[in-house]
Amino acid sequence: MVKKKNIRGCPNRASTCKTKKAGSQTASSKDLTPLDNPADSDISAISPEPQTTDRGQLGFPDRVYLLASVIFQNNHLEKPAAQRLVNYGKERGLPLPEVKDEEMQRPAYELAFNTLKYQELLEDIMIDSCFYLTQPMPDDQMSLVAVMLYDFQDRKFLPRESQGEEEIIQEVRDVENYLLRFKTKLAASLARCRIKHDLLSIECILPESVKTKQERSNSLPLYAWVNTLKSSLEEVQSVLKNAGFSQVKSVGQLEGSTFCQDPHCGDILVFPAQLKAQLYSTKLLSDHKLIVQDKSCSLGPNAVCSLLREEGDVLMAGCFSALTVSHTASLIAEEHKANRNDQPTVHVCVSDRTNAQREELQQNVTAMGCKNVKLIPEDLQSLDGGDKRLQKVRVILLTPKCSVSAVSNPVEFILQENGDTDLLQDLSQGSIAQSKLEALVAQQRKDIDHALKFPKVLAVVYSTCSSYPEENEVVVSRALEQAKACSEQEGEPKQANFRLSPALFSIPDHAEGPEEAKHFFILEPSEQSNGCFLAILRREPEPEVKEAPHEVLVRANAKGILDRIGFNQLTRKQQHGHTNRITKTTHARTSQPHFSVSIQSKNQETKVSNSTTLCGHQEFSNRRQSSQAKALRLQASKNAVSSSSSFSKPENSTPKKSITPVFSTTTSTTPLHPAPPPATPLAPVVRPRRAHQEVLKPVVLVLPQVHFPNFFPPEHSRMRFNPSFSYNNWRPPAQTVTLSRSSGSLSKDAVIKSRPLF
């Protein structure tokens, strides 16, 4: 098995290059210690990771150098022509060479990333030693020279040891021979550069932010989550204790063969970084019962699991690995294991991956035991709430591409989580270019704005590994404002009820922090973990609005749902009020007692007619005015008849007595045809009326018309049709006629008294 190295350049590593102030070329040789026996460690037999010895590294295979040179060529800092010391050619964006063993990718990226960090120093060495001017190297091979020069000085300018049968690449061997010929001059140039810049070690030339991250990456513990589909937390802890591990209470107590439980996520166990090989010996990693992954990638799946209800699916979009998908699926499957027939599904957007990558992702998820994962070839922007596949989606986990500025070991993180390798050059200098940051923020805004437009989604979990507020708080706050603005526009779905949910994970150290700390989960990068940002945007339930019954009917009738049934009921109520007002007004104007009989009977007919009307307020008003006019005309006609029939009566009769109607509007409101009663009676009913008495209405009693030619001149023959004509000046008092209420007919005495005397 080919042993690989861990790139040095970190002051805490065992192989750190410690140089003296004197700048002697032989100073590095004094730091060498005897080679440890590789057989003393079980790492070489178990772990495929690159290995480090105390004396130095054995070097990399030729294929790793070639791959690292292409990565450096595509990402190196290109200076202006006036400031350019070394020319690397004009070609960029070269395809990566094929690597048979995927384990070569990580050391190649590590080597290229370290070369990017020390690009300016390496160029000074090549110029000062005259290597760049004397060696006949084409410009397109200078990237290979740069990566091999960094590895050469990292190995104390010692040649590579033979590693048995391996692939030989002649281009790599030629550059190695050139460097070996110039190793003395190269070492002297490095010493002069350190003296010139007063560098205790070459790490001191790095920006402070890069140096801090480099130091933190050496002490980061190992985080691993328990795959509940393969095992349980209790079983894993039992296996670890049987293998010689002891459990401690906090991360700060980790030392030796110890582990502890993460304070934020109960399914995560934390180990010292050097115990990965010992974990492989327990077969927990090889059996997929314990999965090693950065903690910042596990917070999102835990938040999703706590937000998902009994019925509902999850949609994942952004930048993530198969481990994150498996973690989300396993947590949900364990939470809803009782419902075996209809378990929630995890839909994954994989539009940015090739067919081979999709197949690999599906294989890894299946190996983890996850059966509730479905891949969606479209991206998030092309999906909407009407998609039949997403009708049950209630939570969206959004992990967009970010600057990874809160990660201390960016190379390992980017490779494991399918990150953007174009950020390596910016990360090697400690800051992200403004143009790249703006591009990332623009895409993040599009993703979160689109995620909030799904009408059935109850929560959106937004997670990044960035330390820039532009990618975190600013994006989330702007998304809420944008959603509120869109909801106010006509035709847009209601999104304004999304709000920030309090953080699900508490941070004791930030208990007295700013107000936004209560809504955002911000984990600062430290020696114990990488940094991350997490926000939960939860949809508030619609407020319950209690409408009055008539408001519900009016709104339903406006939409044409109830065929204006409720509207007619309201009209009948209003019409009843209008009828009473008409009766009172007419009675006051005429001041004649017997007028009420005709008007009341006519109003009752009007009520019957209007009870079946299906018209609006305007039509009702017109009918009411027409009915009122007809009632007045009929009233005047009957008044004329009554006056003429009683004209010959004595003038000293009592005028206060009048004909008493059997039914009045206050005691009988039942129409001739069945109709719903009004909502509230206008006057209390004296006693209930029986059905057989409804036919005995006095409103149908009309005395026959009598003409008196001796008293009426011809010009007044039709005066009875004029309702404005007054008979009060010449009409004799009316004869009193008493009606019997009990029998519903005229009494005998009343009939005799009412006969005409002529």
CB under 8 Å to 505, separation ≥6 — which residues? Answer: 264, 265, 299, 302, 303, 521, 534
Tokens 């600057």 belong to which residue? 403
Dihedral sign for Cα 15, 16, 18, 24, please.
positive
For 746, which DSSP code?
Answer: B
Residue 622 phi, psi (nearest 5) = -65, -45
CB under 8 Å to 160, separation ≥6 — which residues? Answer: 58, 59, 176
Pick the catalytic residue: 193, 319, 465, 532?
A: 465
Burial of 340 (0-12, 13-18, 19+ CB in 10 A): exposed
Looking at this protein, which amino acid is placed at residue 487?
S
317 forms beta bridges with 398
* Helix, strand, coil share of the chain (percent; to 5): 45, 10, 45
| H, E, C per residue of 468-497 | CHHHCHHHHHHHHHHHHHHHHCCCCCCCCC
What the block records as the tokens of 388 is 């039949």
- Gap between the Cα atoms of 698 and 680, Å rounded: 25
Burial of 637 (0-12, 13-18, 19+ CB in 10 A): middle
Dihedral sign for Cα 319, 321, 326, 331, please.
negative
Pairing verdict, β 313-318 and 346-349 = parallel
Is residue 465 part of the annotated active site? The answer reads: yes
CB under 8 Å to 240, separation ≥6 — which residues? Answer: 247, 259, 269, 282, 284
- Identify the three-state secondary structure at position 730: coil
Looking at this protein, which amino acid is placed at residue 382?
S
- Gap between the Cα atoms of 466 and 449, Å rounded: 19
Q: Among 542, 392, 544, which residue's Cα sits nearest to residue 454?
A: 392
Q: Do 675 and 694 meet the contact criterion of CB atoms below 8 Å apart?
A: no
Looking at this protein, which amino acid is placed at residue 256?
G
Compute how many other C-beta atoms are within 10 angstroms of the C-beta atom of residue 565: 12
Tokens 């490779």 belong to which residue? 415
What the block records as the tokens of 669 is 């409101």
- Gap between the Cα atoms of 255 and 750, Å rounded: 121
Helices H / strands E in the chain, number of each: 24, 13
What the block records as the tokens of 603 is 């109003």
Q: Do 427 and 207 meet the contact criterion of CB atoms below 8 Å apart?
A: no
Residues annotated as catalytic are: 465
